[in-house]
Structure 1
Amino acid sequence: MPLSHSSPDSNSECKAWLVQSIPTDMPHLSRVPGVLSTADVFRWLAGNSSKRLDILAQYWQLVAGSDDPRSGDYGYSKTDMLRFGANEGFGVYKAIENAADRNVSIRFLQHSGVYPDYTEEPSNLASGRPNVKNVTLLLSEWWGSGIVHAKVWISDHRDVYIGSANNDWKSLTQVKEVGIYLVGCPTVANKVEVYYDNLWKLASLNVSAYTKTIWDQQWQVTRKVPCWSHFIPSKERCRSPLPYFVEVPHVAGYPVLSDPYMFQMPIQTPGLNYSTLQPQSNYLSFAPPELLFGKYQADEQAWVDTIKSAGVGETVRINTMDWLGQSQYLTQTVYWSSLSSAISEVLFSKHAKVKILVAYWTHYINGTDQYLKSLLYSNALCSSSKYNKCSGQIEIRYYVVPGFNLTGPAIQNGTRTGNAYPGYSRVNHGKYVVSNVRAHIGTSNLIWDYFYTTSGVSFGTFHPGIVLQLQEIFDADWNSPYTVPVEPLEEGHAYSS
């Protein structure tokens, strides 16, 4: 079965823009020229679709619910909602609805959604429209935990959005998001479609016939996995029912690929002063690994490789909402050091500077600070011995969007709450890493579950202009008054002699 809908030279006009959402009421955050807004990109993807539109989402809340007592938007006035930018979400919803009414073939695939709407919006869009298909996929039935978490749009097999923005009006104007918009790039779009098709197929399979509970030797836990997983000994695996899959005999788990597939193609960047028609190396990575195909790398490897791509004395910039050196949702806790080890390695061997931005917000995860402090301790280890020729440094800051502690409904149980912004808003939600030579833009938080039980998609590139602009986005956040340093562990002596 061919993976491409296009001729080999059809990527000659491939264009890319970086995409942001910036919350309202952040006047001291510098804007980066040439970066598009998420709301515009979503409207364009739907509005420009003539044949096909695929949307992969965690949940939908594009239409605000200020009249619904169950909603985190409840109780805010029409003036408030207009000031918050809720109309942007309605505009995206209408653009999708218009595409459906133009008889565009549309597929929605998502997790079960969130309270109180769940899957109401995609269900309404599919209702009475045979050209619109709507599927809910529960990855926890396959992996014991995990959700559909990727945020991907694919239009007409050519145009793609990959990034952190959910199908939620707040993701357009009340949450800090980062993504990439690729236009006229059928080769990339078609490979993302393969991943989408694998998820679509998964939703139609009998879970009990295709899952096993196993002892995972790599992660030292008992857990549920698809029966074709490489975490199962080769003689006990089933053949994958997915259209495209990886089959490597005599391998336990999913080892690092020595030469993961790269798209060698030029990408035009109209939003940048930088211009080159030279072919650049670009790639896609996916999670969880059981959904990999061909020579595409697991998302964890792509994050690690990007960190390790840093040159001697150069800087690595990492942005995430959540960071934990462990699992979050698995019954047995997994210890996970993949990213922290990569960071410490470039600190020691390459004298790299590593800057990390982590969100601090209403739903901040307890335990985050301890893991961040343990990572900062690498600075002390770096200079701990006269034998160490180590001059690298790790800096970590919390990104604090103003108003994060005043979020939720304006009215609850008939009483004014004093909240100033809707629930689940006012947070830095982007997920990316950029070295001096490589940019990686993804959909996953930096916690074990997001790489091994949760769906995720990333786009990466060595394009110098995209690398530079992503650095500028990070630096604008880092240098803003909205960040607070994470303090290192207090130094002391373990014993005295």
Structure 2
Amino acid sequence: MKSQQKCIVIFALVGCCAVLIALIFSAVDVWGDEEDGITEDNCSKKCQFVLVENIPEDVTIPYKGTIPLTTGLHDLLDKAHRLVEIVSPFWDLNSTKNAFQLPQAKQGEILFHRFIHLRSQSVNLRVVSGPSDSSELKVLMQHGADVHYLNMKALTKGQLNSSFWVVDRKHIYMGSAGMDWRSFSTMKEFGIIIYDCSCLAMDLNKIFSLYWQLQYKDFVPSIWSKKLTALYNKDKSLQLYLNDTEAKAYISSSPDVFCPKDRMKDIEAINRVIQDANTFIYISVTNYLPVLNSGQPKYWSRIDNILREALILKTHIKVRLLLSCWEQTDPLSFNFVLSLKTLCMESINCSLEVKFFRGINHNKYMVTDNSVYLGNFNWVGNEFFFNAGVGMVISQQVNEKNSSVVEKMKVVFERDWNSQYSKTLQPDKIPECRTLLQNSSDWK
């Protein structure tokens, strides 16, 4: 009897140890990286920023308070002395044979050759990509790059949408453009580059580290390393200067299961920015579709309800939604925005305007009277729920010099909103976006 009890006790102890070991090894830890002695106490908070865009040559919209995307990215590579870390869903920088006539298409190839030569300049290149058989990534590995693949399909049944750079742990890029030649030629892209901002770069690098360690995993860890704990969030924003103007900032992430302790979820960051708006909310995204398509489509209310509450509860606030009219525009998008517009019928305190931009306006941002949210997602349920992405919130008072991020992004939005490429479409026009693109004269 006693020997039986001993066996039971031993078996229980072995079981507990096995569970403990499994939990320990399921945790994502961060390898012993060089930290350069940078900590929260001594990291740089006096930062500079530029807004970057790619405007296709067939779109006659001027750069306004922005610089070309390729100019900004090449400048980042010029400043790299030790390490360039890049997250991109895929790699296709060399244009196809059919695109050789596009002058801008060469920009991707030029950028690719700069990546190839980083190692010869004693600069390490680390890349996180979605599962890919990219010949370009194979070439980069042959030239010394370290490449990790993030299998989101196995982890969350989603995909990698994140697009950002961290250079020498002090300069960052975040925006809509991935490492695709189209992002420097035929696609309208938007993003931000922030220089000499090691506080923010250190926090963004934690997300890079999280992705990096997930390469060989096909499940989401049950425990995250303390080293991945977010430095800043909506309750503890980074206090910094951007172009000599006071600001607050933090970085958010998706999906929810990819958010370690204190990391703000993207949907919560969007909610906070909308809640804090006083006079206007301008949103520029390719698609708006609050639906989950995982087998049987179903309504995903989180983002739709946030806008509905703003329209109903916020007095005298102006909401503008700029979407794309392109081949993949879902007719349901119009149904949802029409439903939002009905909330403002016969109400003088409620204002929602919706326009469609002809072609692919790949921008993914929101600007209000006091904050901006810049992310990697269209406002589509599937993206927030399943996919990996990051966002950045910057809060800043508009100043007389018009040098704030908020003011500059407001100017960019209004430029696009008032351009010849944006217009209000009637309900019966939405399913015909493909036809409208083929017959541009019908757009006028």
Give your verdict on TM over 0.5: yes
- Deviation, structure 1 residue 171: 0.6
User: Which one of the candidate residues 263, 282, 291 is aligned to 2:238?
Assistant: 263
* Residues in 2 aligned to 1:477 and 1:47: alpha-carbon distance in whole angstroms: 31
1:61–1:121 Cα contact (<8 Å) kept: yes
Q: 1:223: which partner in 2?
A: none
* Residues in 1 aligned to 2:112 and 2:221: alpha-carbon distance in whole angstroms: 38
1:109–1:134 Cα contact (<8 Å) kept: yes
Aligned pair in 2 of structure 1 residues 294, 36: CA closer, same or farther (>3 Å)? farther
Q: Which amino acid aligns with 2:92?
A: Q
- Deviation, structure 1 residue 296: 2.4
- The Cα RMSD (Å) is 2.3
Q: 1:108: which partner in 2?
A: 127
The alignment status of 1:470 with 2:409, answered yes or no, reads yes
* Residues in 1 aligned to 2:256 and 2:175: alpha-carbon distance in whole angstroms: 19
The alignment status of 1:124 with 2:139, answered yes or no, reads yes
* Residues in 1 aligned to 2:380 and 2:134: alpha-carbon distance in whole angstroms: 26
Q: 2:442: which partner in 1?
A: none
Q: Which amino acid aligns with 2:204?
A: V
Matches within 5 A, 1:266-285: 266-268=241-243, 276=245, 278=246, 280-285=247-252
Q: Deviations over 1:131-153 (max 9, x none)?
A: x1112211010112x11111101
Q: 1:159: which partner in 2?
A: 171
Q: 1:370: which partner in 2?
A: 335
User: Which one of the candidate residues 292, 297, 316 is aligned to 2:281?
Assistant: 316
2:89–2:160 Cα contact (<8 Å) kept: yes
Larger RCO: Structure 1 or Structure 2 (Cα < 8 Å, ≥ 6 residues apart)?
A: 1
The alignment status of 1:48 with 2:13, answered yes or no, reads no
* Residues in 2 aligned to 1:159 and 1:141: alpha-carbon distance in whole angstroms: 32
* Residues in 1 aligned to 2:375 and 2:142: alpha-carbon distance in whole angstroms: 31
- Deviation, structure 1 residue 11: 1.6
1:164–1:431 Cα contact (<8 Å) kept: yes
Aligned pair in 2 of structure 1 residues 334, 240: CA closer, same or farther (>3 Å)? farther
Q: Which runs of 5+ in 2 are unaligned?
A: 1-29, 399-403, 429-444
Q: 1:81: which partner in 2?
A: 102
Q: Which amino acid aligns with 2:420?
A: P
Matches within 5 A, 1:211-222: none
Q: 2:366: which partner in 1?
A: 433
- State the SS of the aligned residue for 2:326: coil
- State the SS of the aligned residue for 2:110: helix
User: Which one of the candidate residues 228, 232, 239 is aligned to 1:244?
Assistant: 228
Q: 2:68: which partner in 1?
A: 37
- Deviation, structure 1 residue 81: 2.5
1:398–1:483 Cα contact (<8 Å) kept: yes
Q: 1:24: which partner in 2?
A: 57
Q: 2:256: which partner in 1?
A: 289
Q: 2:308: which partner in 1?
A: 344
The alignment status of 1:333 with 2:364, answered yes or no, reads no
- State the SS of the aligned residue for 1:461: strand
Determine which structure has the larger helix proportion and give its number: 2
* Residues in 1 aligned to 2:313 and 2:212: alpha-carbon distance in whole angstroms: 43
- Deviation, structure 1 residue 486: 3.9
TM-score, structure 1 normalization: 0.73
- Deviation, structure 1 residue 47: 3.0
* Residues in 2 aligned to 1:136 and 1:324: alpha-carbon distance in whole angstroms: 28
Matches within 5 A, 1:342-491: 342-350=306-314, 351-380=316-345, 383=347, 391-401=349-359, 427-463=360-396, 464=398, 465-487=404-426
2:45–2:198 Cα contact (<8 Å) kept: no
- State the SS of the aligned residue for 1:195: helix
1:327–1:334 Cα contact (<8 Å) kept: yes
2:229–2:263 Cα contact (<8 Å) kept: no
In the alignment of these two chains, the number of paired residues is 387
Q: 1:222: which partner in 2?
A: none
Aligned pair in 2 of structure 1 residues 488, 173: CA closer, same or farther (>3 Å)? same
Aligned pair in 2 of structure 1 residues 321, 165: CA closer, same or farther (>3 Å)? same
- Deviation, structure 1 residue 258: 9.6
- Deviation, structure 1 residue 395: 0.6
- State the SS of the aligned residue for 2:300: coil
Which range moves more in the overlay, 178-187 or 120-129? 120-129
- Deviation, structure 1 residue 322: 1.3
1:4–1:186 Cα contact (<8 Å) kept: no
Matches within 5 A, 1:123-272: 123-129=138-144, 132-144=145-157, 146-205=158-217, 207=218, 210=219, 226=220, 228=222, 239-240=223-224, 244=228, 259-268=234-243
Q: Which runs of 5+ in 1 are unaligned?
A: 67-73, 211-225, 229-238, 247-256, 269-274, 384-389, 402-426, 490-497
* Residues in 1 aligned to 2:361 and 2:214: alpha-carbon distance in whole angstroms: 31
